[in-house]
Structure 1
Amino acid sequence: MKSTHLTGKLRPALRRLNAGAALAVLAAATVTTGAASADTVHRSDRGRLVSVERTTTLTAKEDVAAALAAAGFDASTARFGVDAYRLVYRTVDPGGRPTTASGLLVLPRGGEHELRTVSFTHGTASYRSDAPSAMVRAGFVSSPAITYASAGFAAVAPDYIGLGTGPGLHPWMDVPSETTASLDMLRAARAFVPRTGRALGHDVLVTGFSQGASAAMGLARALQAGDDRWFRLAAVAPVSGAYDFRHAELPALLDGSLDPKSSVLYSAYLLVAWNRLHRLYDSPDEVFRTPYDSTVEALFDGSHTGPQLFAGTPDTLDALLTPHGFEMLRHPTGRLARALRVADSTCDWAPRVPVRLYVADADEQAANANTDHCGAALRSHGVDAAVVDLGVPDFAGSRHLGSNVAGTAAVVRWFDQLR
């Protein structure tokens, strides 16, 4: 769910980085009241290709290595050049209504005819052009997919609803729609890949970073449950997730344990996006102080860049939230409590495949207690998931962002061992 380190040396770095690479935060959401269930949409339409566009070709592994190194990612596992495509496909929104979404598919220029698939679900993005499929070169959100493809996998990276070229607004941290968008992106990839002379096998290795970590767990659970007749879950490796918003992430946001600006952005995001999904408040002045009560919702429309969001929000929660806003987040009730139970259930199952949870020391945006709670939830179902300590990785002054870089390097090697 996370963005970048939002204080100190990162502020000038934002001017040099792509907004999605340095921010990876905030967007808006979609009203879902009164909508139909996703099950009412005919399954034959979900995952159907609408369009395909080749966005990038890196002919040789040396080209991939140079591109990944320039983006700050480990290039040592590159074995092949890659072709990248933007897929637009049919799926459903959070209320089950038909819509379209986009995503990035990256294929190796070599290797096996039948490819094993890696699904990578990205961290929080606000600006729709910061989605993986919008990147025409290796960047923070696209480099993981390029890394997996250059190692010989078919890499599938959904943009989620309302990002990339998908219509509407993005329902942030809505695990059900993240799951359907991810599953339908796999179906779209399977439909397209034979046109390249290749095929996708049954196995899917599932990973994701930050917001994408809980999305990865949602997709993994759906695959294990047999929600698709072709694909089957092979392994799960989420990185730096906010798996327990109510009992781990929100307390850390509110008590000052995490980066203050990050806490402002994520608290604002949660209230605005989930209000549109779940109607948490009637008027923004109930939860946001002046002048943000008249400006903060408008920032979350998918058209504002990371620096615009920084400039448009205060540096502390005290300047953002009213007493009622604080109370809602400290003691969730009603619709917010029910929504949190859904978001916080992603580790409440028993994977029958290898599982590893990746985490950085003292992550300044995703409280480490999230991973502790996820591991405990898995153990309650008889699954002792290995926790992999990534140490103190750094990207633009952020351990959280650094964990995406370090986690990608670690996960691709583990997935290679599972071939």
Structure 2
Amino acid sequence: MSTPMRTKLPALACAGLVLATAISPAALAATGAAPRSQAVTIDDRGSIVSADLLARLSAEQVAAYLTRAKSPVPARPQGADLYAVVYRTTAVDGAPTTASGIVALPARSRKNLWTVSYEHGTLATKADAGSVSDGDGRAVPLLFAAAGFAGVAPDYLGLGKGPGFHPYMDSATEVSATADLLRAAGELAGRKGRTLSGDLLVTGFSQGGQAAMALGKSLRDDSTFRLRAVAATSGPYDARNAEMPALLDGRLEPHIAAYYLAYWTVSMNRLHHLYDAPSEVFRDPRVEKLFDGRHSFDEIVAGLPASPRKLATAAYLERLAPLRRAGEGDGVQ
């Protein structure tokens, strides 16, 4: 699992750009595979609540933006339109809700566009998500739009303009929030005189690596999208046998380990009820409130103790001991 300090945008963008250019629409055409239109025919899920144009950028402006973001720039970039989209989806319990995300559409390419979905890394602050904040949640889909793709980047549930809490590390809602944004992207493209082919490339970093793999698995037999490739980077693919032991046995920097352990614990309690009161798992019960979606990253880090041992109660560490022993460390730091 990567550190939450800042996502590695250049590395991720390079991996995703290689994926996109290696399996480009032109390359597909050369194979004789026929594109098809992407229709949005499902009930209410994926329908657009709002779509706000954030920027209409020329090719030169796109290149300048990506350069400032320390991202690769396509050899012949297109201009692009960048939208913040709010759309209908489902909550953890299956109830109707809304979520938000970014859709970037290229200026020149108009028909049968391939789509690239970017799954972002760990965020605990609503205001840091792409629909409401500049960052990789905008730069990465813009990169793909500049290369002639429709770029899509979900905020996930509870981040950006979405209501409620973010169910961190919940694969099911990472998948549903992304799939419904892909449907919303098809609707938006149609409104703008473009069509999406249904061909899909998926990439993601950190939490997004895991989300990308889960999305890829869910779409293997999907009738709406044709999954062409997945490039997942630095994801927590085996939380029980790899990530959690690394958090607990000292292989990860202790303060970062405290961040991930606290965030995971709060999220899992909301999903699966791990505790009745935060004092059962945290030495300082105020830790739970740091993950309300309103505290900034810096506020969260400043409010956390310096290690898992200082974060968690002895009773909670004992409950986690089987996970620690699943790894190859020599004790909680």
- Which residue is 1:45 aligned to? 44
- Letter of the 1:320 partner, please give it: L
Asked if residue 280 in structure 1 is aligned to residue 274 in structure 2, the reply is yes
* Structure-2 residue corresponding to 1:259: 253
Relative to structure 1, is the Cα distance of residues 79 and 230 closer, same or farther in structure 2, using a 3 angstrom cutoff? same
Q: Structure 2 CA distance, aligned partners of 1:77 and 1:177?
A: 36
Q: How far is the alpha carbon of 1:230 from its aligned partner?
A: 2.0
Paired position in structure 1 for 2:132: 134
- Matched residue, 1:58: 57
SS state at 1:248 partner: helix
What does residue 84 of structure 2 align with? 86
Question: CA deviation digits over 1:30-80, x for unaligned, max 9?
Answer: xxxxxxxxxxxx9511111111101122112x2112111112222244511
Tell me, in whole angstroms, the C-alpha distance in 1 between the residues paired with 2:273 and 2:233. 30
1:143 is matched with which residue: 139, 145, 167? 139
Runs of 4+ in 1 over 4 A off after TM superposition: none
Given that residues 65 and 78 in structure 1 are in contact (C-alpha distance below 8 angstroms), is that contact kept between their aligned partners in structure 2?
Answer: no
- Aligned with 1:145: secondary structure? helix
Match of 1:109 in 2: 107
In the alignment, does 2:303 pair up with 1:312? yes
Paired residues of 1:77 and 1:150 also in contact (CA < 8 A): no
- The letter for the 2-side match of 1:192 is L
Residue aligning to 1:268: 262
Higher relative contact order (CA 8 A, sep 6+): 1
Deviations 1:89-126 (A, max 9, x none): 11001110110011100011113522100011111111
For the pair 1:325 / 2:316, whether they are aligned, the reply is: yes
Q: Return the letter of the residue paired with 1:239.
A: T
Q: Is the 8 A contact 1:117 1:153 kept in 2?
A: yes
Displacement after TM superposition at 1:157 (Å):
0.6
- For structure 1, list consecutive stretches of 5 or more residues without a partner in the other structure: 7-41, 333-366, 368-419
Other structure's SS at 1:142 match: helix
Alpha-carbon distance in structure 1 between the residues aligned to 2:139 and 2:89: 25
Letter in 2 for 1:54: L
1:298 aligned onto 2:289: yes
Counterpart amino acid of residue 246 in structure 1: R
Q: Which amino acid aligns with 1:297?
A: E
C-alpha offsets along residues 247-269 of structure 1, whole Å, 9 cap, x if unaligned? Answer: 00111111111122110000001
Offset at residue 327 of structure 1 (A): 2.4
Can you give the 5+ residue segments of structure 2 that lack an aligned partner in the other structure? 7-40, 328-333
Residues 3 and 123, structure 1, Cα contact 8 Å, conserved in 2? no
In structure 2, which of residues 231, 234, 237 is the aligned counterpart of residue 237 of structure 1? 231
Structure 1 residues 366-414: Cα deviation after superposition (integer angstroms, max 9, x where no partner):
x9xxxxxxxxxxxxxxxxxxxxxxxxxxxxxxxxxxxxxxxxxxxxxxx
> Residue type of the partner of 1:47?
G
1:178 is aligned to 174
Give % identity.
47
Residue in 2 aligned with 1:203?
199
- What's 1:152 paired with? 148
C-alpha displacement at 1:183, in angstroms? Answer: 0.5
Instruction: Please give the TM-score of this superposition, normalised by the length of structure 1.
Output: 0.66
Letter in 1 for 2:156: Y
Q: Deviations over 1:107-155 (max 9, x none)?
A: 11113522100011111111111111223x4x23321111111111101
Alignment root-mean-square deviation, CA: 1.8
| Residues 1:217 and 2:213 are matched in the alignment | yes
Q: Is the 8 A contact 2:80 2:104 kept in 1?
A: yes
Structure 2 partner of 1:28: none
User: Residue deviations 1:269-319, cap 9 Å, x none?
Assistant: 111111011001112112111xx22x1111111111011001110111121
Do the aligned partners of 1:49 and 1:90 also contact (CA within 8 Å) in 2?
yes
- C-alpha distance in structure 2 between counterparts of 1:93 and 1:2, whole Å: 27
Q: Does the CA-based 8 Å contact 1:209-1:240 persist in structure 2?
A: yes
Amino acid aligned to 1:325: Y
CA distance in 2, matches of 1:2, 1:54: 32
> Residue 176 of structure 1 aligns to which amino acid in structure 2?
A
Find the aligned partners of 1:310 and 1:233 in 2 and give their Cα distance: 38
Q: Give the match's secondary structure for 1:324.
A: helix
CA distance in 1, matches of 2:320, 2:138: 33
- 1:262-411 to structure 2, matched below 5 A, reads 262-289=256-283, 292-293=284-285, 295-331=286-322
Instruction: Number of aligned residue pairs: give it.
Output: 290
Instruction: Letter of the 1:282 partner, please give it.
Output: D
Q: Is the 8 A contact 1:64 1:78 kept in 2?
A: no
